[in-house]
Amino acid sequence: MRILFIGDIVGKPGREAVASLLPGLKEELAPELVIVNAENAAAGRGVTRAIVRALFASGVDVITTGNHVWARTEELGLLDDEPRVLRPGNYPPGSPGRGWGVFRTTRGNLIAVVNLIGRALMEPVDDPFRAIDDILAATALQTPLCFVDFHAETTSEKVAFGWHCAGRVSAVVGTHTHVQTADERILPGGTAYITDTGMCGPEDSVIGMEVEAALARFRTQLPHHLKVAEGVATLCGVVIDLDDQTGKAHSIQRLRRSEELYPREPQEKL
Amino acid sequence: MRILFIGDIVGKPGREAVASLLPGLKEELAPELVIVNAENAAAGRGVTRAIVRALFASGVDVITTGNHVWARTEELGLLDDEPRVLRPGNYPPGSPGRGWGVFRTTRGNLIAVVNLIGRALMEPVDDPFRAIDDILAATALQTPLCFVDFHAETTSEKVAFGWHCAGRVSAVVGTHTHVQTADERILPGGTAYITDTGMCGPEDSVIGMEVEAALARFRTQLPHHLKVAEGVATLCGVVIDLDDQTGKAHSIQRLRRSEELYPREPQEKL
Amino acid sequence: MRILFIGDIVGKPGREAVASLLPGLKEELAPELVIVNAENAAAGRGVTRAIVRALFASGVDVITTGNHVWARTEELGLLDDEPRVLRPGNYPPGSPGRGWGVFRTTRGNLIAVVNLIGRALMEPVDDPFRAIDDILAATALQTPLCFVDFHAETTSEKVAFGWHCAGRVSAVVGTHTHVQTADERILPGGTAYITDTGMCGPEDSVIGMEVEAALARFRTQLPHHLKVAEGVATLCGVVIDLDDQTGKAHSIQRLRRSEELYPREPQEKL
Amino acid sequence: MRILFIGDIVGKPGREAVASLLPGLKEELAPELVIVNAENAAAGRGVTRAIVRALFASGVDVITTGNHVWARTEELGLLDDEPRVLRPGNYPPGSPGRGWGVFRTTRGNLIAVVNLIGRALMEPVDDPFRAIDDILAATALQTPLCFVDFHAETTSEKVAFGWHCAGRVSAVVGTHTHVQTADERILPGGTAYITDTGMCGPEDSVIGMEVEAALARFRTQLPHHLKVAEGVATLCGVVIDLDDQTGKAHSIQRLRRSEELYPREPQEKL
Ligand SMILES: [Fe+2]
Ligand SMILES: [Fe+2]
Ligand SMILES: [Fe+2]
Ligand SMILES: [Fe+2]
Ligand SMILES: [Fe+2]
Ligand SMILES: [Fe+2]
Ligand SMILES: [Fe+2]
Ligand SMILES: [Fe+2]
């Protein structure tokens, strides 16, 4: 199974990049499953029913989120109503929505999709390391294919979480920092891993937000209203190929596409 | 001028990777200046006089550091004695050592090398945004070439710092997270930028440290002694080309090299 | 000189407690100077021109604030216009308003009033330890009397700041935690000190806010809108007596008064 | 039942203050149960078997701890061996030791003693709010008397935790900040509450540690070795009276005693 995963979609530029680029990517890459993280899709914070409908209409199969999903309190019913929209599964019991689901692809394969959040330099939610163990105890009976979006701040917690899952899940992809990392690899046991997928949002920005307001925050330490930047967006993602029988990952490749022919040609590794 | 910069050297595996790979890299890339961040070179924390001597002997020209430089309190005199070893320049006045220097290369070009540290989710030191303004006021009189190692945790502070410097310095390269990012670019005005260069350390590790102890910390929240992992090291760096007259960057390229032919072939971007 | 200082005024219950209790306190205690911290006076966050006018009308002489003062961005002009309303003095240069002032009392004595903020487990502003040194260099020429409101989170930073100022200022009183501490003392050299003055706000609350929403935040880790609690308010403060010639403190006494005869009689120390 | 609780014992001065003052306090107050927090008893960090023996010999019945208990890794077997020494109960399952116990006093009454730790601005352990619910489900069958040492940093989490427990436990007393608060009260339903008990340690110190090194840390932001201060120690505690049948608290009184007749006479509340 080939999975296309797209990182945190930021605001209208991010949504428009998905709408304009996803059809071509689906044609080019022929993924069996398209997953996107939409925690910043609604003006930079949260997601709405209308956005979710549009994402599904563009060809998205499952939506993950993160800490910002709670920002739109009027839309939280969505998390209870729509099993294809996940929120991190290690919020306390009783939180709206679900942290994982087992989905059947159009080609008939079953795959578990899991959303978890880190705690290092973040809010003190339940332990994600024990959470994945519990979730795997439930999903492993149904399918060996398991994709995890681990939404976390520090590289140490994310890399450690990858090792914790190595050989037990198909893929651990990081989100939240909005900057793609160049450390994609297959961990021992066949687990595809990347520390952060990067965002789908405006390139000339501070992780998706307008540069001037973000700079003002750092320079003054006073509150400045941040809003999503305008301009050309870049779509960051990963493409992961799994063995349908074993759930082991064969490969993980980074993806970075711009809506326009962007003047900066991304440089290749030496 | 071509600059080769290598990210946080972690312990003996990192030092050995520099020793074995740097001669070949110098031959291949012919950099005019080699800078390395050595904050984790001494068993994962700090740097010593002996390590500094060895790095200079391998062909390093200037050494930057970060928050861990203070760990070896018995070696802090080094920072006062050796102007080619920098510590972040925005520690309070009176701290041992220097945060920047202007260096003449063997080809006769002058370049300022600056080391600063971020504050978001880190210790509350002096403002790095004002610090670079003050430093540039001093160095700009001597040379338009200026390389900055910005040692920081969050992507937002690092990206914002890049924009703060855009058009005013030759390069802002991030360190500290030990994971290379894939967002290298030339910012408007000719400033080479990358959020994190990545480390020079053991590949099968949690940002350089042994996996088992790092996992135990996250699973138990109890103190566990971390030590540098063993095994094959990867050297992460960037190669930056500057205009000698204007100090503007022409290009920035990521570099990732393994001591051995590593079984995992790093994948190219799609 | 006798100073009456009242800690963080929280919302309408806090403002009403000041309005109803301050006249009687002034009669009873005959303070030469009344200072209040009003950072939470406007619905729990910030302060407005109307509130400032009302506080001055009730007999307040100088107003200090803290991290929440910036919440009412439409009112920040107030900080530039009214020298008797201070904000922490160690925000970056160029911030609206002032961090200190030298005021003449009705009895003709000059006293410096200083507002500073801590950094431990708070935002990374400028160093308050160096800031007080710089401010004292300016005020000491005018008067030996100096009162400091140090708005900070951790006991360690607050106690350390007290020692840093011992013998150099008349009083260091803490604010921000909204819970009065029982460690008032005269530090060597004649500096009155208390770690936290406590708030002036509703007693049955979580540091001034409604219990149910505050509990929901801790139980769910999701955002819940906090609003100021209702009910009987308690006014917490300190009374400090200084030598008019030397600025040395003779005494510091805690003050805790309720608007109504409160069913819980506060217990005395054994 | 009368309980005497003494806050964080800091180093040798703290231990000596317990040894010299506890016999007199037991005679004067006739507590049925003496509980002390000893997380800082061993040179400021952790506790040892020898110290535990000495505390029991001085008349202590039960020992609670906090985040520093793990510092003495060679002594952690103690936590498994000695049921009268507790560690915070909301560390992950599998941690050494126990978080609570039900103890029979010499007068034959059963009481649950619980030790929990907060998470706001601290390490991300398990949820203390759910933990107390689970513990009460176990202890309530045995006894209505329940004493909780809640070891936490922020006033908001501590006050909220008090309200969470109001009417369900006999007492919630805070520890960890080392500064006694003046907010002792009986919460609705008969729960004695104080935000922090304060420490038992050297008075002229920064929360028990030498002033000069603590100041150097704040002034330089560099690591400085902290050690326990010398000099006269103050013992801070609370005395709580409970109804033996219902477990409801009748009263809570703060206690503050110095080994010597201390030149500073603590001031009474106005
Ligand atoms: Fe995000
Ligand atoms: Fe996020
Ligand atoms: Fe590092
Ligand atoms: Fe670092
Ligand atoms: Fe406040
Ligand atoms: Fe505050
Ligand atoms: Fe403690
Ligand atoms: Fe503690």
CA C68–ligand 6 middle distance (angstroms): 6
Which are the catalytic amino acids of D?
A: 68
- At A24 the pLDDT is 95
Mutate to test the interface with C, among B126, B129, B157 (most CBs of C within 10 A): B126
State the alpha helices, DSSP H only, in chain C. 11-29, 49-57, 77-81, 128-139, 155-165, 211-220
* Gap between the Cα atoms of A100 and A112, Å rounded: 7
* Gap between the Cα atoms of D149 and D196, Å rounded: 10
* Gap between the Cα atoms of C197 and C199, Å rounded: 7
Residue A194 contacts residue A254 (beta carbons within 8 Å): yes
Q: Report yes or no on B185 lying in a domain.
A: yes
Instruction: Give the closest of A92, A122, A130 to D127, CB-based.
Output: A92
> Tens digits of per-residue pLDDT, B92-107?
999 999 999 999 999 9
Q: How confident is the model at residue A259 (pLDDT cuts 50, 70, 90)?
A: confident
* Gap between the Cα atoms of A145 and A110, Å rounded: 7
Q: Which residues of chain B make contact with C161, given a CB cutoff of 8 A?
A: none
CA D40–ligand 7 middle distance (angstroms): 5
Buried residues in D170-187 as b, exposed as e (16+ CB within 10 A): bbbbbbbbbbbbbbbbbb
- Reply yes or no on whether the pLDDT at B261 is more than 80: no
Does the beta-carbon distance from A183 to B179 stay under 8 Å? yes
Any long-range contacts for C193-197 (C-beta under 8 Å, 24+ apart)? C193/C162, C193/C166, C193/C252, C194/C238, C194/C252, C194/C254, C195/C155, C195/C158, C195/C159, C195/C162, C195/D179, C196/C7, C196/C158, C196/D181, C197/C5, C197/C6, C197/C7, C197/C8, C197/C37, C197/C173, C197/C236, C197/C237, C197/C238
Q: Report yes or no on A51 lying in a domain.
A: yes
Which whole number is the average pLDDT over B135-142?
Answer: 96
Q: How confident is the model at residue B143 (pLDDT cuts 50, 70, 90)?
A: very high
Residue B48 contacts residue B265 (beta carbons within 8 Å): no
- At B73 the pLDDT is 85
CA C159–ligand 7 middle distance (angstroms): 15
Phi first, then psi, for residue A54 (nearest 5°) are -65, -40
- Subunits with 3+ Cβ pairs within 8 Å of A are B, C, D
Known binding residue A224? Answer is: no
What six digits make up the tokens of D84?
């009268």
Three-state DSSP at C204 gives coil
Other Cβ atoms less than 10 A from the Cβ of D73: the count is 13
Q: Chain A: give the shortest CA distance to residue D127, in Å.
A: 7
* Gap between the Cα atoms of B208 and B149, Å rounded: 20
- Subunits with 3+ Cβ pairs within 8 Å of D are A, B, C
Residue C174 contacts residue C157 (beta carbons within 8 Å): no
- At C259 the pLDDT is 78
Percent of chain A surpassing pLDDT 70: 96
Q: In terms of CA atoms, which chain C residue is nearest residue B118?
A: C124
Neighbours of ion ligand 6 (CB under 5 A): C 66-67, 176
What six digits make up the tokens of A106?
């159009």
Could you give the ipTM of this predicted complex?
0.95
Residue C75 contacts residue C49 (beta carbons within 8 Å): yes
Which are the catalytic amino acids of A?
A: 68
Give every residue of chain C whose pLDDT is below 70, as ranges.
260-270
Instruction: Give the closest of C71, C92, C221 to A125, CB-based.
Output: C221
Mutate to test the interface with A, among C68, C222, C224 (most CBs of A within 10 A): C222
CA B91–ligand 3 middle distance (angstroms): 17
User: Given the structure tokens 């030496």, which residue do they identify?
Assistant: A270
Residue A1 contacts residue A242 (beta carbons within 8 Å): yes
Report the length, in residues, of chain A: 270
Known binding residue B39? Answer is: yes
Q: Report yes or no on C269 lying in a domain.
A: no
What six digits make up the tokens of A26?
């689906």
Three-state DSSP at D260 gives coil
- At A270 the pLDDT is 54
Q: How confident is the model at residue A213 (pLDDT cuts 50, 70, 90)?
A: very high
CA B82–ligand 7 middle distance (angstroms): 41
- At C270 the pLDDT is 53
Does the beta-carbon distance from B155 to A164 stay under 8 Å? no
Q: Report yes or no on D270 lying in a domain.
A: no
> Tens digits of per-residue pLDDT, A50-105?
999 999 999 999 999 999 999 998 888 999 999 999 999 999 999 999 999 999 99
Known binding residue B164? Answer is: no
State the alpha helices, DSSP H only, in C30-123. 49-57, 77-81
Which whole number is the average pLDDT over B249-257?
Answer: 97
Question: Mean pLDDT in each 10-residue stretch from start to end of chain D (270 residues)?
Answer: 98 96 96 98 97 98 98 92 98 97 97 98 98 97 98 98 98 98 98 98 98 97 94 96 98 92 44
* Gap between the Cα atoms of D125 and D153, Å rounded: 14
Residue D238 contacts residue D40 (beta carbons within 8 Å): no
> Tens digits of per-residue pLDDT, B202-243?
999 999 999 999 999 999 999 999 999 999 999 999 999 999
Residue A223 contacts residue C71 (beta carbons within 8 Å): yes
Which whole number is the average pLDDT over A246-252?
Answer: 98
> Tens digits of per-residue pLDDT, A147-168?
999 999 999 999 999 999 999 9
Q: Report yes or no on D253 lying in a domain.
A: yes
What six digits make up the tokens of C270?
């054994």
- Residues 6+ away with beta carbon under 8 Å from D4: D25, D26, D29, D31, D33, D34, D35, D237, D238, D239, D255
Other Cβ atoms less than 10 A from the Cβ of B189: the count is 12
Known binding residue C224? Answer is: no
Which whole number is the average pLDDT over A115-127?
Answer: 98
Known binding residue A109? Answer is: no
Give the up-direction half-sphere exposure of residue C100: CA atoms within 13 A in the CB hemisphere: 26
Q: Which residues of chain D make contact with C179, given a CB cutoff of 8 A?
A: 155, 159, 181, 183, 195
Instruction: Give the closest of B73, B125, B221 to D123, CB-based.
Output: B221
- At B266 the pLDDT is 45
User: Amino acid letter at D58?
Assistant: S
* Gap between the Cα atoms of D41 and D14, Å rounded: 7
Angle, helix D155-165 to helix C211-220, in steps of 10 degrees? 100
Does the beta-carbon distance from A254 to B239 stay under 8 Å? no
> Tens digits of per-residue pLDDT, B35-93?
999 999 999 999 999 999 999 999 999 999 999 999 998 888 999 999 999 999 999 99
Q: Chain B: give the shortest CA distance to residue A190, in Å.
A: 12
CA B134–ligand 4 middle distance (angstroms): 23
Does the beta-carbon distance from D126 to A126 stay under 8 Å? yes
- Subunits with 3+ Cβ pairs within 8 Å of B are A, C, D
Q: In terms of CA atoms, which chain C residue is nearest residue D239?
A: C270
Mutate to test the interface with A, among B217, B218, B252, B253 (most CBs of A within 10 A): B218
Distance from the Cα of residue B16 to its chain's centroid: 17
Q: Report yes or no on C216 lying in a domain.
A: yes
For residues A1 and B269, which has the higher predicted lDDT (pLDDT)?
A1
On whether the pTM is more than 0.80, the answer is yes
Instruction: Give the closest of A92, A124, A130 to D124, CB-based.
Output: A124
Q: Chain A: give the shortest CA distance to residue D224, in Å.
A: 24
Binding residue positions of D: 8, 39-40, 67, 151, 176, 178
* Gap between the Cα atoms of D240 and D253, Å rounded: 7
Q: Chain B: give the shortest CA distance to residue D224, in Å.
A: 9
Q: How many helices (H) and strands (E) does chain A have?
A: 6, 12
- At B270 the pLDDT is 54
Residue D82 contacts residue D116 (beta carbons within 8 Å): no
For residue B7, which ligand has an atom nearest its CA? 3
For residue D7, which ligand has an atom nearest its CA? 7
Three-state DSSP at A253 gives strand
Instruction: Give the closest of D70, D91, D220 to B95, CB-based.
Output: D220
Instruction: Give the closest of D123, D125, D223 to B70, CB-based.
Output: D223
Residue B183 contacts residue B15 (beta carbons within 8 Å): no
- At A241 the pLDDT is 98
Percent of chain B surpassing pLDDT 70: 96
* Gap between the Cα atoms of C268 and D13, Å rounded: 26
CA B151–ligand 4 middle distance (angstroms): 6
Q: Which residues of chain D make contact with C186, given a CB cutoff of 8 A?
A: 264
* Gap between the Cα atoms of C177 and C207, Å rounded: 8
**C94 to B164, C76, C91: CA distances (angstroms):** 17, 13, 8
B contact set with C (CB within 8 A): 92, 119-120, 122, 124-127, 130
* Gap between the Cα atoms of D128 and D96, Å rounded: 18
H or E segment to which residue B112 belongs: strand B110-117
Three-state DSSP at C194 gives strand
* Gap between the Cα atoms of A197 and B181, Å rounded: 10
Mean pLDDT estimate for chain B: 95
Sheet arrangement for strand B100-104 = B100-104, B110-117, B146-151, B171-175, B191-194, B185-187
H or E segment to which residue A115 belongs: strand A110-117
Q: Report yes or no on D269 lying in a domain.
A: no
Instruction: Give the closest of C123, C220, C223 to A221, CB-based.
Output: C123
Known binding residue B176? Answer is: yes
Which whole number is the average pLDDT over B166-179?
Answer: 98
Question: CATH number, domain at B92?
Answer: 3.60.21.10
Q: Report yes or no on B214 lying in a domain.
A: yes
Number of domains in chain A: 1
CA B88–ligand 4 middle distance (angstroms): 10
User: Amino acid letter at D201?
Assistant: G
Q: Which residues of chain C make contact with D251, given a CB cutoff of 8 A?
A: 267
- Reply yes or no on whether the pLDDT at A44 is more than 60: yes
The DSSP secondary-structure symbol of B135 reads H
- At B51 the pLDDT is 98
Residue A183 belongs to what domain range? 2-257
Q: Which residues of chain D make contact with B70, given a CB cutoff of 8 A?
A: 222-223
